[in-house]
Chain A
Amino acid sequence: MLAYILRRIVYVIPIVVSVALVCFMLVHITPGDPLVAILPADASQELASQLRIAYGFDRPLPVQFGLWLWKAVNGDLGHSIATGRPVLSEVMRAVGNTVTLAIAAAMIGFTLGLFFGLLAGYFRDTWVDKVATSIAIAGVSVPHYWLGMVLVIIFSVQLNWLPAVGAGPGGSGAWGWDWEHIRYLVLPAVTTSVIPMGIVTRTVRALTGDILSQDFVEALRAKGLRETHVFRHVIKNAAPTAMAVMGLQLGYMLGGSILIETVFSWPGSGLLLNSAIFQRDLPLLQGTILVLALFFVFLNLMVDIAQAAIDPRIKRS
């Protein structure tokens, strides 16, 4: 198992370097001036050149990449051009808020997804299956930002039950796990959860149906096992694939949703990315993308290891 984990970690290194290179290149090939946040369009060419030198944008791209990567390896992602604040602290604060949202959404989405998926798979082609499948299709089809706006109109504007925007009465810096704060999380978490709920439902339904049709299930029943025991075997066999799907979904959610976080003014990585994109804040953009990509890579690594722990066949392959 240790050899397997080490091998997976070694595979991660070139992925991380490639991710760093791609995110650096992507933000640099986009048109526009990287100093647009602090340099008005009427600024003189002399002033523009002076600032370009001050921020190191006059150097060749490979040199800029090398310097940035070296600093990044040493835990320094530079400073935001627009705010002057260290990128790492900006990203970590935003990621923390997104993690809060993602975990809440995962709890809702995965719980409902597993419930509806198992139900639909076990009662395949019955009305239960049809209802659960319809909910899943609605989950993956409804534009989540639209759903967010609808929820805000109903629960905030009309009923005045839940806040429309923000991350707590005093902002995320004063976050606490009490109802005064959690009420700010409800609408964005529900909105974020609908897509993973739909995907998990469909995946688990297909897996359950497939496993139930396999011979070993018949054998278990023939041995006289109670249906709850048979079901436990079905769950165990479905778990690796379901976990992989949930891991990916959690990864997507940890990446933050630009649309949902903007609709709810939730100060997470999606809103940070949105702001960085519109302000052409290259260090912030690069840093945010890199950190999120690393999260994704790390999460995949964890899922791979967990899968191998559950299903020894994966380790052997």
Chain B
Amino acid sequence: KDVVHVKVKKYAGYFNPESKSFAVDPHLTTFEDLQNILIQAFSLNGPFHMTYLCRDDVGDNVYLSMLTEWDLDAAFMTSSDPFLRLKLDAEPYKDGLMSKLPDWEKVESPNNFHSSLHIYSISSVNSILSLQQTPRSLSNSLGSAFNKLTVGLGYNHYVEEEAIFFPSKPPLDDAEFRSYLDEDGRLMKPEDLRLRVYHGGVTPALRKVVWRMLLNIFPIHLTGRERIAYMKRKTNEYEQLRAKWQARADLERVKQISNMIWKDVLRTDRSHKYYSGPDDNPHMVALMNILTTYALTHPKVSYCQGMSDLVSPILVVMNNEAQAYICFCGAMLRLKENFSRDGVAMSTKFKHLAMLTAHYDEDFFKYLQNLGADTMFFCYRWILLELKREFNFEDAITVLEASNMLVMWSSLPPQPPEHDLPLYDHVDTHCFSDLSTSNTSSPVENAPGFNSTTESEASIDCVGVIEYSACPENVLRLRKAPLSAKSSAGSPPKASDSFLTQESTHNLPPPEELGCGNPFLLFVCLTLLLDEREKLMATHCEYDDLVMHFDRLVRGHSPRKVLSKSMKLFAEYLRSE
């Protein structure tokens, strides 16, 4: 065994037990190391007593004391797969709590383990591995490694047993964010920032600034001052675009689109306090303005249902209509293909998700096939809205919900616009040209760096030009790939009717093609599916039962758990590539 996964439950007095898990290298970890890990992880400051679960000769599960190096070795050898289970009594001398609760932990059967997540902190394993080379700094490295570990763990008190993979780091804060900027505020390594966010999210106060960067709205190498000026100029540009259609609100097309959008805005996240209250809530008006401006200035995309769900969280975070519009334009460079009528992007994504499912869980995929669900159409909303509705979005954006989207976005390589992010597409003759020609000094002509459609289309192509890899520490690496990758990435294969061939489930598409440029999303979808597979396969159900089962889970998934598992699967996939 090279890695032993450890699950620890700490009992102290009558408090609820606290659980943590991590992984260690059994060849390098001494009894003292383990004690240190536990002291740090649970902030212990007194004596404690450890027991470990092992199976005795008769096959019964019993907890034995762990007091010496020998005990630890025995524990490593006999550790019940997939975990070495430890119990820790932090108040061993207080009137025999353990004797009072003879049955205080029900030993789960290995079958139950099977469906639980096997998440561990790889960084701690690596830190321990690195000790081999520098034995002298042992205690120091240990200290810092476990500091990292415990910061990750202590990040939230109700941390689940499994949840260490995400967040593997605390949320990015202002001070650390500064370290990604040079003295003038230029973002030095956009990839690094993304990876950092991928592993831990950002603190709420910083979300506004970081979302703007993740959504690729700034040309590269802008200084802090230049970014501020850029936002001002873009805000102004947006306000002019909006003023134009508002001045022509009598036009049939403007009326028709804005009415259609309003109907949907009335039904978008109304349970969220930002959009609650009477129907003329200014935030709803802002939502409508953003969508109407986008639809009228991007006639090829126009408006489609689902867009309001995508703008909504952006508006909540930006809390500024113009800035939210700019960010939405950035997001739509990548997302607009989902709304295209030919459905090519969506069907490719369905197909890829089917391939992934077949690849990772053949039995479950066969089960889906029997139900006629192997087209994965039932995951339509997941993919169209990038899972926005599958996670909770109550009471302001919770840290978790926001990090869900953040993490998703940060898994994508940076694609900053060459010069300026276009806020409008080629303006069509039907309605808006008529608006724009009515004013000769329109921003359409004046916008610097604007090259009509060709530029925005070029940036779409760029979305495919990415390269992922997993480095040894099991973390994601993003790279811009050479342009040669472009041709294959730009033209996704057409989904065929005979859905999957044997071969296609063995050879998954490379990351730059998988999911048409957002491979991580599909891994999160896969996790949502696999999380329910036991429950579903245990019952006799039909296609509608399956779909209704997932519909009932809307907004109910635990992002932390789901992200942890998805990241693990994603890292494994990248390593195998």
Query: Do A and B come together as binding partners?
Result: no
